Structure 1
């Protein structure tokens, strides 16, 4: 099952980008025997529309283009469900075993997600109660995806 992160906004910080790329590479290696990966990262520019509602609608339309009919959309949302690393790994495993072609993680712009994205979500996922900059959220998500692969493979990286 392919895994993708589709995000509004480009990572400008070289250090954040390097960390995301490191975990993407690790996931690709660890996930191969599990039928997971590679991790595909797509970035879209923020909308330039004048109104918040229009910006969210425009960004949602771009993010939803990445979702195929047999894909699962996981939306990063501050009010979403918080999962343990083990529960997150189980969600990924169940999506794979349920026949999903891809799990696509959607990260919205500064104004949040449009209604169309929220409606398409199989899971609204929170990375925690703290507000994270979008770049740091991508780092945390990429690390948790790698961690999920190690949990599923029984690798000692995850020690709970």
Structure 2
């Protein structure tokens, strides 16, 4: 299954970009990152076949890392070809996008800068794929 992060805003050469790169290089599943302008620009069309969409949203579920990993593992085992992770700009996502997502997730009740949220998401994708693979990176408890 390909993991596809679609994020609003250009990360450029920032410390957050270094974190994103560090964790993205570790992911052994297919990994792709697409940047869109803060406003406008179209989300790229999904590939043929089963696709799931996850939107990062302050009203989303707060999942533990193992629970998140098990969701991705289940989708992979069901034949999902791509899971898309949508990160909005400063104003978040519109209601239509939230309604169309298969899952809304939040990194807690606090508001996070969207560039930092990108780094946090890619680290959690690395952690989730490590959990699925039985790699010792994640320590429960």
Could you tell me how far 1:11 is from its partner in structure 2? 0.8
The one of 34, 40, 63 aligned to 2:32: 40
Task: Name the structure 2 match of 1:131.
Answer: 111
Of 67, 71, 74, 1:87 maps to 67
Distance 1:13 1:78 in 2: 26
Gaps of 5+ in 2: none
- Any runs of at least 4 consecutive aligned residues in structure 1 with deviations exceeding 4 A, and if so which? none
Query: Would the aligned equivalents of 2:90 and 2:113 in 1 still touch at CA under 8 Å?
Result: no
Mark the runs of 5 or more structure 1 residues left unpaired by the alignment.
29-36, 48-57
SS of alignment partner, residue 5 of structure 2: strand
- Deviation of residue 39 (structure 1)? 1.4
State the number of aligned residues: 139
Give the distance between the partners of 1:158 and 1:108, measured in 2 at CA.
27
| Cα deviation, residue 2, structure 1 | 0.4
- Structure 1 or 2, whichever has the larger Rg, is 1
How high is the TM-score relative to the length of structure 1? Answer: 0.81
Alignment of 1:46-61 (within 5 A): 46-47=38-39, 58=40
